[in-house]
Amino acid sequence: MDGDTQSYVVVLNDEEQYSIWPADRDLPLGWRGDGVSGSKAECLSHIGEVWTDMRPSSLRRSVEQAG
């Protein structure tokens, strides 16, 4: 156990890239919450479940349009 008692929120940017951010801080510009908060482990677990394609959304769209 890492002893981290900080609460986090799951955030994502316009390219649908995920990260976690301390819940008690304002979100950085360009990022929005996805509605999930909790411990670092809980947030990272959620990201592992929902972020299955690591490519930025603009690249995914480009590949789909070219294909």
Amino acid at 8: Y
Is there a domain that residue 2 lies in? Answer: no
Q: What are phi and psi of 18, to 5 degrees?
A: -100, 155
The end-to-end CA distance of the chain, in Å, is 46
Q: What is the domain count for the chain? A: 1
Segment 7-34, tens digit of pLDDT: 999 999 999 999 999 999 999 999 999 9
Query: Are 5 and 38 contacting, i.e. CB atoms less than 8 angstroms apart?
Result: no
Mean pLDDT of 33-55: 95
Q: What's the pLDDT at 7?
A: 98
- Cα–Cα distance for residue pair 67/65, rounded to 1 Å: 6
User: What share of the chain in percent tops pLDDT 70?
Assistant: 97
- What is the domain extent for residue 50? 8-66
Distance of CA 4 to the CA centre of its chain: 19
Mean pLDDT of 43-63: 89
Full-model pTM:
0.82
CATH number of the domain bearing residue 62: 3.90.820.10
**Mean pLDDT of all residues belonging to the chain:** 92
Is there a domain that residue 60 lies in? Answer: yes
